[in-house]
C-alpha cells in the first residue's frame, strides 16, 4: 500500500519566517509533486520533480523553492512566508511504470501565516 | 494546455443518484480521472477512464465520456452520507505528460 506522509498536519508561522514542509513516500516513485489547495480554486501545481535533484516549476512557483536530495523525500520551502501563502499544501507522488499515472496524495499540511 | 471545469456544489438526498459533471478542453487527453477528497484528507483516485472508452462501471460508480462534447460525468448510485466529499475531475494530456490537470472540485453534500 502506497503511503505518502507529510511532516505536519497543521502549522502556524509568522510573516517572514522560513518554512519547511516535508513529504516522504515509501513506494520508490520517480515523480513527486507539491500542490496548494484553496477554496474555489482547486489544486494548483507549485513544483514537481521527476528524479533526484531534478525539479521543474509548476503553475505558481513564485515565493517557493523545493529540494529533492533523496528519491523518497521532497521538501517545499517558503523562503520568507507571507500571509497570502496561508493554504492547504498537498504532496503527491506517481510511478513512471504505472500505465495510468495515478497520483498518490499525502493528508495535507494546513499552513497559517500570521 | 488542458482546462477542466466543474460545478462547485451538489446536494442530494441519501438513496438518490448523484451526477457530477465536468468539461475539458483538450480533445487529445489520454486519461480522465475522478479523485475523491474526504474531509481532512488528501485526494484518492476513485476511478479513471481511457479516452477510447465511452463508459466504465465499477459497483455504484458509472463514468460516462462524451468525446464529441468533451464532457465527463460521474454517477453515484444509491448515494450514502459517507459519499459526502469533494470530487475532482482531472485530465491527462498526450505527448508523455504524466501530470494531470485538475478541476476546481465539486462538493457533494448528502442529506439523510
When CB atoms are compared, the residue of B45, B99, B103 closest to A102 is B45
* A43, B102 contact by CB (below 8 A): yes
Mean of the per-residue pLDDT values of chain A: 94
* A positions 61-90 inside 8 Å of B (CB): 90
Residues of A whose CB is below 8 A from B49:
none
Closest partner residue to A40 among B8, B41, B42, by Cβ? B8
Q: Flag if A33 and B103 touch (Cβ within 8 Å).
A: no
Give me the residue from A4, A40, A92 closest to B104, CB to CB: A40
Using a CB-CB distance cutoff of 8 angstroms, which residues of chain B are in contact with residue A41?
104
In this prediction, residue A2 has a pLDDT band, given cuts at 50, 70 and 90, of low
Work out the pLDDT band at B95, boundaries 50, 70, 90.
low
Cβ of A101 under 8 Å from any chain B Cβ? yes
Compute φ and ψ for B19, nearest 5 degrees.
-130, 120
Question: For all residues of chain B together, what is the average pLDDT?
Answer: 91
Cell of B25: 478542453
Spell out which residues of chain B touch residue A105, defining contact as CB-CB under 8 Å. Answer: 42-44
Query: How confident is the model over B19-61, as pLDDT tens digits?
Result: 999 999 887 778 899 999 999 899 999 999 998 899 999 999 9
Residue B55 phi/psi, 5° resolution?
-150, 150
pLDDT for residue A99 is more than 80:
no
Span A97-109, mean pLDDT?
86
Q: Are B48 and A106 an interchain contact pair (Cβ–Cβ within 8 Å)?
A: no
Q: Which among A50, A103, A106 is the nearest to B100, CB-wise?
A: A103
What are the distances in angstroms from CA B28 to CA A99, B32, B94?
17, 11, 6
Amino acid at each position: 500500500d502506497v503511503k505518502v506522509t507529510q511532516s505536519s498536519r497543521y502549522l502556524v508561522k509568522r510573516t517572514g519566517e522560513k518554512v519547511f514542509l516535508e513529504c516522504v513516500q515509501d513506494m520508490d516513485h520517480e515523480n513527486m509533486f507539491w500542490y496548494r489547495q484553496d477554496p474555489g480554486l482547486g489544486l494548483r501545481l507549485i513544483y514537481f520533480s521527476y528524479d533526484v535533484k531534478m525539479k521543474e516549476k509548476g503553475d505558481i512557483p513564485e515565493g517557493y523553492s523545493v529540494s529533492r536530495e533523496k528519491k523518497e523525500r521532497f521538501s517545499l520551502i517558503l523562503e520568507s512566508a507571507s500571509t497570502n501563502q496561508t493554504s492547504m499544501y498537498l504532496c503527491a507522488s506517481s510511478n513512471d511504470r504505472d500505465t495510468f499515472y495515478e497520483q498518490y496524495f499525502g493528508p495535507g499540511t494546513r499552513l497559517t501565516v500570521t | 494546455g488542458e482546462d477542466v471545469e466543474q460545478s462547485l456544489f451538489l446536494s442530494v438526498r441519501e438513496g438518490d443518484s448523484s451526477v457530477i459533471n465536468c468539461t475539458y478542453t483538450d480533445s487529445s487527453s489520454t486519461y480522465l480521472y475522478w479523485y475523491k477528497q474526504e474531509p481532512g484528507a488528501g485526494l484518492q483516485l476513485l476511478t479513471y477512464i481511457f479516452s477510447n472508452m465511452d463508459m466504465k462501471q465499477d459497483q455504484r460508480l458509472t463514468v460516462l465520456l462524451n468525446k464529441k462534447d468533451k464532457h465527463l460525468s460521474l454517477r453515484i448510485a444509491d448515494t450514502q452520507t459517507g459519499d459526502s466529499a469533494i470530487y475532482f475531475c482531472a485530465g491527462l494530456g498526450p505527448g508523455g505528460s504524466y501530470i494531470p490537470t485538475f478541476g476546481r472540485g465539486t462538493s457533494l453534500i448528502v442529506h439523510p
